[in-house]
Amino acid sequence: MQSSTQPSASYQNRTKRERSPSVKFVLLIWILLIAAGITAAYLYSNHVKHEMLQQLQADSHKQMNELKMSYEAKFEALSGEVKELESKVQSFNELLTFTKDNATSKTDNSNKLYTQLNEVKKQLNTLQQKMDLLK
């Protein structure tokens, strides 16, 4: 009876040995697949991050250029207004000088000119302050 149990024991040992390499092989494949998945996810996330940074950088450069052009346009407009006001102030000064020279005790036009001149000077000062803020 022992002889009949021995072949079955050797058969069981042989089948265990045959199954063991296949289990190890499957575990090794699973480990490799998991490692490959983790590596692929890491590389893909770095790729997406790199693309996103490039897009943000391009957008920020575009916005900075638009802001610069807007700033330059406002600065040019304010410079034009300041030059216009300076010419008005100069003409008012000339008119005021002429009026003072020709004024008599009967006319009081010089007070009106002084008032207008003061208003123009105030406008000129506010424009100058705006230009200083833009600088």
d(CA 72, CA 68): 6
CB hemisphere CA count around 77 (13 angstroms): 8
Give the whole-angstrom CA distance, residue 114 versus residue 70.
37
Instruction: From 33, 36, 54, select the one nearest 44 (Cα to Cα).
Output: 36
Q: What is the pLDDT of residues 101-110, one digit of tens each?
A: 666 655 555 5
Structure tokens, 80? 């034009």
Give the predicted TM-score (pTM) of the model: 0.46
Domain span including residue 96: 2-134
Tens digits of residue pLDDT in 26-56 = 999 999 999 999 999 999 999 999 999 999 9
**Structural domain total, the chain:** 1
Instruction: Return mean pLDDT, the chain.
Output: 81
Instruction: Name the H helices within the chain.
Output: 2-102, 109-134
The whole-angstrom separation of Cα 106 and Cα 99 is 13
Per-residue pLDDT at 19 exceeds 90: no
Q: Which residue has the tokens 């003072």?
A: 100
The answer to whether the CB of 130 falls within 8 A of the CB of 109 is: no
Tokens of 54: 């490039």
Tell me the mean pLDDT in the region 55-60: 97
Contact 95, 50 (CB under 8 A): no
Highest mean pLDDT among 4-8, 18-22, 24-28, 44-48: 44-48
